[in-house]
Amino acid sequence: ALHCTRAMMYLTEYLGCAMVLSPAQVRMTLLQLFLHAADISNPTKPFESCKAWANRVLDEFFAQGDLEKAQNIPVQMLNDRNTVSRPHSQIGFLEFLVAPLFLLQVARDAGSIPGSDN
């Protein structure tokens, strides 16, 4: 769906500017955010499914890191299998990416943020 950086940009835009956005812009921004939320929703699934997906993603990151090392280019932070802690990476993923998007949905459903009546 969306790159995480772009999703956080949309979240910031929505929360910071929703009062000046048109209803159509609010709807589009929310659509983009919730599409991203669906993409990163594996932590909301039963534990075995969540764990399997987390391992698949990290294995993909580590394979990318192996290629980066082989080509003598800087290894991206989450791609180094020798330094990344799987559990800690998932805690960060939950705290900084998943929770903000899902809390936005809860707040919107409760009617406590701009655009919740659209």
Residue among 54, 84, 49 at smallest CA distance from 66 = 84
pLDDT for 39 equals 87
Average pLDDT value for the chain: 81
Euclidean distance between CA atoms 69 and 57, whole angstroms: 19
- With a cut of 70, say whether residue 115 has pLDDT above it: no
Q: Does the model's pTM come out above 0.85?
A: no
pLDDT for residue 117 is more than 60 = no
DSSP 72: T
Torsion angle (degrees, nearest 10) of CA 101, 103, 105, 107: -140
Q: Which pLDDT value is given to residue 113?
A: 56
Residue 39 labeled ligand binder: yes
Percent of the chain having pLDDT more than 90? 42
Q: What is the DSSP letter of 111?
A: T
Residue 116 main-chain phi, psi, to 5 deg: -70, -15
Average pLDDT, integer, range 7-15: 62
Render pLDDT for 39-97 as a digit per residue (tens, 0 to 9).
888 999 999 999 999 999 999 999 999 999 999 999 999 999 999 999 999 999 998 88
Spatial CB neighbours of 13, under 8 Å, sequence gap ≥ 6: 29
